[in-house]
């Protein structure tokens, strides 16, 4: 039986990745498990975006230095990050864009479509449901959930059905939903998160303010738009002080 090679959670919160047993020509076999930080995986996402742009432009090969110069990155960091997963470059050539793009999609798990549920069919939830960029990157918004009776059975402009949150567990299983996005008011966020965890969803993107605790086998990432705006406000305020 063929063993799948998937990332698993390391003891200190990073990801442990076992390199695939089969490698493309020129890649070194790496059977050891490397511990990869979340900062590294974030950079891999950036590299993938850059490779998407190069591929769309018809570029066949690129060096780490060329990639760094064109997209304002760090060449040494690129090589270090990629080295966690094997050797992708070819001496005298650099990286084959399509091949490296394919490898990064596999490493990040977006080589197969992941189904996502959005909790909250308000303005933010509906906007996220219809954002076309998710589908382009391999994420399918499979369902919206809400508690308002008038919304149940309705659809977003893009056609995503709004379900009763009471049916979450059933819909998660039926549609094989892997990720949940929480886009509800702060007062409801904790209860909704608990419902999501109880339904068996292991990955959560949270847009509600506050601090949340989840089981060790659940990964949550929070995006607080107010904090980001306050950071920008601080930058502007310091500029105003300097000009005074």
In this structure, what CATH number is given to the domain that contains residue 33? 1.10.10.10
In the predicted model, what is the mean pLDDT of residues 123-143? 92
* Residue 188 in domain: yes
* Residue 242 in domain: no
8 vs 188: which has the higher pLDDT: 188
Quick one: 46 and 81 in the same domain?
yes
Quick one: 104 and 135 in the same domain?
no
What does the alpha-carbon distance between residue 165 and residue 142 come to, in Å, rounded to a whole number? 14
Q: pLDDT tens-digit profile of 12-41? A: 344 444 444 334 433 333 333 347 788 898
Quick one: 23 and 120 in the same domain?
no
Quick one: 24 and 95 in the same domain?
yes
* Residue 101 in domain: yes
Domain finish residue from 108, 135, 156: 108
Dihedral pair phi/psi, residue 3, rounded to 5°: -90, 130
What does the alpha-carbon distance between residue 12 and residue 37 come to, in Å, rounded to a whole number? 9
Quick one: 120 and 87 in the same domain?
no
Quick one: 104 and 121 in the same domain?
no
Residue by residue, DSSP assigns the chain as -PPP---EE-TTSSEEEEPPSS--TTPPP--SEEEE-HHHHHHHHHHHHHHHHHHHTT--EE-HHHHHHHHT--HHHHHHHHHTS----BTTTBEEHHHHHHHHHHHHT-SSPEEEEEE--SHHHHHHHT-THHHHTTEEEEEEEES-TTTTT-B-TT-PBEEEGGGHHHHHHHHT--EEEE-S-HHHHHHHHHHHHHTT--EEEE-SSS-----TT-EEEE--HHHHHHHHHHHHHHHHHHH-
Residue 106 has pLDDT above 70, yes or no: yes
* Residue 17 neighbours by CB distance under 10 Å: 21
Quick one: 96 and 126 in the same domain?
no
* Residue 239 in domain: no
In the predicted model, what is the mean pLDDT of residues 137-141? 90
Quick one: 130 and 94 in the same domain?
no
Instruction: Say what the pLDDT of residue 241 is.
Output: 62
* Residue 190 in domain: yes
Q: Which two tokens stand for residue 114?
A: 């992941």
* Residue 141 in domain: yes
Instruction: Provide the domain limits for residue 48.
Output: 8-108
Give the CATH number of the domain where residue 204 resides. 3.40.50.720
Quick one: 150 and 210 in the same domain?
yes
Highest-confidence segment of 30-44, 172-186, 218-232 = 172-186
Quick one: 149 and 98 in the same domain?
no
What is the count of structural domains for the chain? Answer: 2
Domain finish residue from 88, 108, 128: 108
In the predicted model, what is the mean pLDDT of residues 74-78? 95
Residue 11 has pLDDT above 50, yes or no: no
Quick one: 29 and 78 in the same domain?
yes
Quick one: 140 and 212 in the same domain?
yes
Q: Which two tokens stand for residue 86?
A: 């094997």
């Amino acid at each position: 039986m063929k063993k799948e090679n998937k990332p698993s959670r390391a003891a200190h919160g990073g990801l442990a990745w076992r390199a695939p047993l089969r490698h493309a020509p020129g890649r070194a076999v790496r059977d050891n498990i490397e511990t990869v930080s979340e900062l590294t995986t974030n950079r891999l996402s950036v590299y993938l975006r850059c490779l998407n742009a190069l591929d769309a432009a018809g570029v066949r090969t690129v060096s780490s230095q060329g990639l760094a110069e064109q997209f304002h990155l760090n060449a040494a960091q690129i090589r270090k990050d990629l080295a966690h997963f094997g050797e992708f470059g070819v001496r005298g050539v650099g990286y084959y864009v399509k091949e490296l793009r394919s490898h990064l999609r596999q490493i990040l798990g977006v080589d197969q479509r992941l189904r996502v549920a959005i909790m909250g069919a308000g303005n933010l939830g509906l906007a996220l449901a219809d954002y076309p960029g998710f589908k382009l990157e391999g994420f399918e918004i499979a369902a919206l959930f809400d508690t308002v009776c008038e919304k149940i059975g309705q659809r977003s402009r893009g056609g995503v059905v709004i379900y009763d949150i009471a049916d979450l567990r059933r819909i998660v299983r039926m549609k094989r939903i892997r990720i949940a996005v929480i886009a509800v008011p702060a007062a409801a966020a904790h209860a909704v998160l608990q419902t999501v965890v109880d339904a068996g969803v292991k990955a959560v993107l949270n847009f509600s303010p506050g601090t949340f605790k989840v089981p060790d086998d659940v990964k949550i990432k929070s995006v607080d738009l107010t904090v980001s705006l306050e950071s920008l406000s601080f930058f502007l305020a310091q500029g105003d002080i300097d000009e005074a």
